[in-house]
Every structure is written in C-alpha cells, then in structure tokens.
Amino acid sequence: MRKLFVLALGVLAPLGAETIVIRNATIMTVTHGTVKGSVVVKDGKIADVGEKVMEPAGATIIDAAGQYVIPGIIDCHSHIAADGGINEGSLSVSSMANIKDVINPEDISIYRALAGGVTTANILHGSANSIGGQTIVLKMRWGKDASLMIFEGAKPGIKFALGENVKRSGNPQGGGRGATPAVQARYPGTRMGVEDVIREAFTEAKAYKAEWDAYKAAVARGEHPMPPRKDLKLEPLKEVLEGDRYVHSHCYRADEILMLIRVADDYGFKIRTFQHVLEGYKVAKEIAAHNAGGSTFSDWWDYKMEAVDAIPFNATLMTRKNVVVSLNSDDAELMRHLNTEAGKAMKYGGASETEALAMVTLNPAKQLGIDNRVGSIDVGKDADLVIYDKYPLSDFAKVQKVMIDGSVYFDRDKEVSGLAAKAAEKQKLVDKLKQQQQQNGGRGGRGGRIG
C-alpha cells in the first residue's frame, strides 16, 4: 500500500538530456568565483559558463533571474537508499558485506535529498564494527533502477569505525542505545581493542596479499602455480593496501583518530576520510600530514559522551590547518539542507563563502575521488546543478530546481502544482482498495491471511 502511494508520488524519470541554457543567474562556480550570466548544458555536461555565452539554437531556456546556481551538493556520509539494516554487526570485521547489494531505488529519501539539492551521496555501512562493509557512491537519479544510480567509475570504499558505537557490543554493562546483553558481548569493548581488531585484520590481509603477489610473480615467470583461495573478507582489505579502495572511518575523539593514522602508517595504507571527526580540530596537523580528508557535522554535539568536545568551529579550524573538509549529514533530514550547514561554517570561524560552499560540493568530490566529474561549475563537468531562489548559504533560501547529468530531476514549481493531482490519485487508490475489500466481503485483505 505504502509503495503504491510512493509510486503515485514519484516524478517521471527524465527521458534524455536536452540542451538547456540557464540565463540571468548568479552562478557560484566554486573554482572560479561568482559569475552573473548563463550556464549552457549539452549532452549532460556543462558546455559553457560565463557572462556571455553562445546559446545553442533550440535550447530550452530556464530564466533564473534573481536566482542562484551552485554545483550539485555532495553528501559524503549517508545511509539512505540502503534497504533494511546498514549494520552487519555480528562480526567485528564485516568487510565482505557490501551496501551495493542492498540499494533500494524507491526509497523516498532519495527524492527528498534531491529536493534539498543533493545530487551525489556516499552510502556507507553502519558504525557497529571496527571494520564495516563496503560503500557505494550514488547519484540521486530518482526513478532509475539501482544499477543506474551508481556513480560510474567512482572508486569503491569501505567503512571503518572507532569509539563508542564499536565498543557498545562489547560493553558488559550494556552501552545504552542498541546495546546487546552482556552474554552476547562481542570483542572489542574498549578503544584498545578497536586498535587490535584493525591490526589483526591487516596482519591477515598483508599475508593474504603476499600469497597473491607470490602467485602473480610465479605466473609472470611462466610457471603454473595453484592460485590462492579467494577470501571475501580479506579481498577488500587487500584492495585498501593496494590503494584501490578508499577507507572512510567513523571517529570522534582525537586519540582514536591519531591511533588509526599510526596503524595505517605501520601497514602502509591511507585513510581517505575521517568521518564525523568531531575532535578533528585537535589533531588537524596529523590528519593533514596523512593527507586524509575530514567530513564532519556543522554543529551537532553533546548527544553522546564522545561528542562533548564537538565545536561548530571544527570545519573551519580543520580547513585552516590544511585539511580538505566536507560537511556531511549522516541523516535523511540534515541531508536536505547542507547549504545552511555550509552557511554555519561562515558563521563559526569565518570560512569564506567559497570555502564554505566547497565543503558541500568540491571538497566531498575530492574526498570521493570524483572531482574530475562533479563538485564545481566548470566546462566539461557533469551538469549536476542546483537553482536556489535566494543566496544559497542562507536559511531563507530554498531549492527551485535540481539537475543531474543535464536532466531536471526536481522542480519545485511542478512539485507544488502537482500536489492536488497526487492527492486525487491517492484518493482514487484508497477508494479502489476500499471497493475491493467490500467486494471481498471484508475478507481476503492482506491482513486476513494467517501464516
């Protein structure tokens, strides 16, 4: 029933990318300042941007007088569109689990994220395990099936997690929300144990990699050895060691951030991003030296013990210490107004307008290794664009249109004007069901069957 309503709500998926000119707009490019002029979109890409552009004949014109255009917002930490649970919490190392396998393209959160200007999101496994599952980058192509939502060519990732969430399952007193009874306690129960779990896993992964390297070397010598047995837990960790998979690590406290940097140093791999990283400002120097990114909340704090030293200045302070910083949501609601979260980086610590906007566009693109495709308004990049009615870094602004690959996926005017029709369609469905139930004599409804 619910699903039926969602279908009724859904906007028809855009058919094919057309040639579009967005005129008279204030265009915040992120990479080369703010331009008053036009953006030309052709074949799903940005074909031109500037004060004066050549408008291709027959192009659809969007008059954005008084409005603002920014690159599509990129959320580096989300769990939307993941069907069912996101935590394979039975093991401390669950690297064999993959979020890619559970993408639900009909999750209404995708449409809502779009309506908040998000065009790309990094969908992560949960934070119950020291080493969690594999992650996937999606474009919010609402109406397309799961395989078509996947960001083509984006490097895969894996979720790590440190601190309270990981310890919770191993806490003999129970660890509050979601705690398992002591009898089911799962190692680790302390931050010391978290380090050990990661070291144990990479000790194994290194040995596994050595086996494969020896095998490949033998093949290269023209020998015909037996290949090693493929290990689905260690395979992603081997990819991490080889630099072919990004590590996105959930973390809060400075001590655990530093711990993971040193573990990675010892085993010769890199942490791509520290996620949440609420105390990142305390070890920004070390994070920058490791060349890792920081993806944080603007102002969430004090909801748990490891969040008591969170400061809203974190994003700006890490930026000042040369860390590439993004602002993420980790939440289907917060995801819908990351523009205001960027605005807060200007308020708290005085990030410049461009620095702040980059925190939700270019910087997360860099962190996900997709900045050659998205994150700024530059010729040749994907036409992932958001039009706001007002200055986008203000809480008075709202999204008017959202484009992905040059196709409009959200249009507020159509959304508003279509509400009555949707309500009527819903009523029709409700009436039809009522009628069916009456015909069945009140029997045979979905709830009528037992077993």
Partner 1 sequence: MKLAGLLLAAAATLLAGADDTFLIRGIDVYPVTSKPMQGVSVLVQDGKIAEISAKITPPKGMKIVEGKGLRLYPGMIDSATNLGLQEVQSVRETVDTGELGEFMPQLRALVAVNPESEHFGAVRVNGITSAIALPGGGGGRGGGTQTIGGQAALIHTSGWTWEDMEISRSAAMQLTFPSMGGRGGRGGFTPDTVAELVGGDAGAAGGANARRQYDDAIAKINDFFDEARRYQKEKAAHAPGFETDLKKEAMIPVLDGKLPLAVSASTADAIHDAIQFADKQHVKIVIMGPREVGKAGAELKAHNIPVILGRALALPEHEDDSYDQAMALPNEFYKAGVKFAMGTFTNEFVRNLPYQAATAVAFGLPADEALKSVTINPAEIWGQADKVGSIEKGKWADLVITNGDMLEIQTKIEHVYVKGKEVDLTNKQTRLYEKYLSRQ
Residues found near partner 1 in the complex (CB under 8 A): 1-2, 5-6, 8-9, 108, 111-112, 115, 176-177, 281-282, 284-285, 299-305, 307-309, 311-313, 317, 320, 332-334, 336-337, 340, 343-344, 346-347, 349, 389-390, 393-398, 415, 419, 422, 426, 430, 433-434, 437, 442-448
Look at strands 73-78 and 118-123 and give their pairing.
parallel
The smaller minimum CB distance to partner 1, of residues 270 and 422, is found at 422
**Of the candidates 45, 28, 22, which has an alpha carbon nearest to the alpha carbon of residue 383?**
45
The smaller minimum CB distance to partner 1, of residues 212 and 300, is found at 300
For the bound state, the minimum distance from the C-beta of residue 48 to partner 1, rounded and expressed in Å, comes to 31
Token pair of 297 as six digits = 């909340």
Which residues lie below 8 Å from residue 422, measured CB to CB, with a gap of 6+?
8, 9
Are the beta carbons of 335 and 329 closer than 8 angstroms?
Answer: yes
The smaller minimum CB distance to partner 1, of residues 192 and 308, is found at 308
Give SS3 for 402.
strand
The smaller minimum CB distance to partner 1, of residues 225 and 448, is found at 448
Q: Cα–chain-centroid distance for residue 270?
A: 20
- What phi and psi values does residue 128 have, to the nearest 5 degrees? -80, -20
For the bound state, the minimum distance from the C-beta of residue 340 to partner 1, rounded and expressed in Å, comes to 6
For the bound state, the minimum distance from the C-beta of residue 395 to partner 1, rounded and expressed in Å, comes to 4
For the bound state, the minimum distance from the C-beta of residue 177 to partner 1, rounded and expressed in Å, comes to 6
The smaller minimum CB distance to partner 1, of residues 96 and 433, is found at 433
Look at strands 68-71 and 20-28 and give their pairing.
parallel
**Of the candidates 419, 383, 270, which has an alpha carbon nearest to the alpha carbon of residue 22?**
383
The smaller minimum CB distance to partner 1, of residues 37 and 418, is found at 418
DSSP state letters, 247-309: EEEEE-SHHHHHHHHHHHHHHT----EEEE-TTGGGSHHHHHHTT-EEEE-SS---SSGGGTT
Alpha helices in 190-250 (DSSP H): 191-220, 234-241
The smaller minimum CB distance to partner 1, of residues 210 and 419, is found at 419
Which residues lie below 8 Å from residue 221, measured CB to CB, with a gap of 6+?
none
The smaller minimum CB distance to partner 1, of residues 144 and 412, is found at 412
For the bound state, the minimum distance from the C-beta of residue 398 to partner 1, rounded and expressed in Å, comes to 5
Specify the amino acid at residue 165. N
The smaller minimum CB distance to partner 1, of residues 234 and 393, is found at 393
Angstrom CA distances, 83 to 101, 111, 224, 393, stand at: 9, 15, 43, 32
The smaller minimum CB distance to partner 1, of residues 370 and 397, is found at 397
Q: Is the dihedral of CA 233, 236, 237, 238 positive or negative?
A: positive
For the bound state, the minimum distance from the C-beta of residue 387 to partner 1, rounded and expressed in Å, comes to 14
For the bound state, the minimum distance from the C-beta of residue 422 to partner 1, rounded and expressed in Å, comes to 8
**Of the candidates 86, 11, 81, 26, which has an alpha carbon nearest to the alpha carbon of residue 335?**
81
- What phi and psi values does residue 23 have, to the nearest 5 degrees? -105, 160
Are the beta carbons of 71 and 362 closer than 8 angstroms?
Answer: yes
For the bound state, the minimum distance from the C-beta of residue 264 to partner 1, rounded and expressed in Å, comes to 22
